[in-house]
Structure 1
């Protein structure tokens, strides 16, 4: 978090230069995040959305008149903006089995703010810790619990974030439960996959059996309809030959008789 916020330093410096060029910062319009130190500004100035939904961020300063070319709006700088103070629950910037590192919310330069670390105890007054750094290291064996960091500027809290640091044994238990849950999901998924594979194999076997039956029936039909008649003709070739010869003679005689009748 701290590294990401440091990247915003050049933008903040640019906003200060832009503020000097246009005569100072402007107050946020109704319904928008409040900026940092502000002064009256020309109505030709508008502001973009704040980059954060809580704490401290930056926003664009837009000029609506006198932009180069045909542009109706142009960016002349950036400035700091403020949103909701409560940022809820944060994620540690470093999460190890033994210790974690948790960070406050700030904008560069971080030394301009004051950081108040508290350990929250249920049904009791919060215990203020001696640390005044923007980043605090908490070891699980000695200081597990709920922590809160308030970022203050000139005595006013501008951002607040909370963290829960679990004890080492509790972390190991959660990790074991997570592993068991993943294994359970895998075990549940495997039988389903096996059932799907079994159904697919059964379908393939049914299709194969149908093809085999069709081939067998076709073979039987070919054998009965073609091969058996051929065997019969071979065995009784003399009788078949006599039959066709007598049939040929009868056909010729019938034809001659028909020709004679047609001549008469």
Structure 2
């Protein structure tokens, strides 16, 4: 009986040893990851959980796009924030971005034009070396002739006949803008200059005539107004003068009639 009692008392020893050694045993990877992320994982999987807004939260904002600086080709525009601006500002600029319009910009105007030469620009935005520029000479009913010039601005001297040029602005092999220019011949340019001079002279003459007529009309109008004011202020005297003059006229008529009657007798 004593041996049995001792054996019964010694049976829990292995179980107790296992409980003591359990914290020292390595856990499986999945269980370790679950234990490490237990709080956050449970919170993420819990229904109805929502992240509080903070530094990493995605805030929905309202933006408004400004007017593009160009109607064709490539330009820039402002991006405005309509909510969340600092202070009392209703709108604030967030950034400036590119904007594009139709590729064909039609006919352009040279940046400088003289009797001998003309300078023509391509369409671009800074930095200038970001784009590739292809200059062409357009010939009627023929294939366009590509020029060796690849700069954003080209200077051309006038010839005996007018020439049409075209500049294509390219980016990554795609045409983003195209503009044409006509460089007139020397004779045509001189004719245009003489026409402009004649037009300017005729406009000057017309303006002088209009100014003279306007000044004359103002003077006449002011004179009439002053005459009317004078007549209103001195109406009684004028009326008396008219009456006396009419009486004298009647007396003169009577005398003339009497003299004519005497002569007849």
Q: What TM-score, normalized by structure 2, do the two folds share?
A: 0.54
Partner of 1:15: none
Aligned partner of 2:94 in structure 1 is 76
Q: Determine if the alignment matches structure 1 residue 44 to structure 2 residue 61.
A: yes
Q: Pick 1 or 2: higher relative contact order, CA cutoff 8 A, min separation 6.
A: 1
- Aligned residue for 1:92, secondary structure, equals coil
Matched, 1:94 2:107: no
Shift of 1:155: 0.9
- 1: CA distance, partners of 2:153 / 2:96: 26
Bigger mean CA offset, 118-127 vs 106-115: 118-127
Q: Which has the larger radius of gyration?
A: 2
C-alpha separation between the residues in 1 aligned to 2:88 and 2:223?
Answer: 72
Q: Deviations over 1:36-72 (max 9, x none)?
A: xxxxx98635342322211111122334554334555
Q: State the partner residue of 2:53.
A: none
Of 98, 122, 130, the match for 2:148: 130
Residue correspondences, number: 177
Q: Is contact 1:138–1:144 with CA below 8 Å preserved after alignment?
A: no
CA contact (8 A) 2:160 2:187 kept: no
Retained in 2: the 8 A contact 1:89–1:161? yes
C-alpha deviation, 1:203, in angstroms: 8.7
Is 2:145 the partner of 1:121?
no
Paired position in structure 1 for 2:121: 103
Mark the runs of 5 or more structure 2 residues left unpaired by the alignment. 1-57, 242-265
Where structure 1 has 5 or more consecutive residues not aligned to the other structure, the ranges are: 1-40, 222-264
Q: CA deviation at 1:84?
A: 1.5
Supply the RMSD in Å over aligned alpha carbons.
3.7
Q: Distance in 1 between matches of 2:123 and 2:180?
A: 11
Partner residue in 1 for 2:79: 61
What is the correspondence of 1:132-147 to structure 2 with a 5 Å cutoff? 132-141=150-159, 144-147=162-165
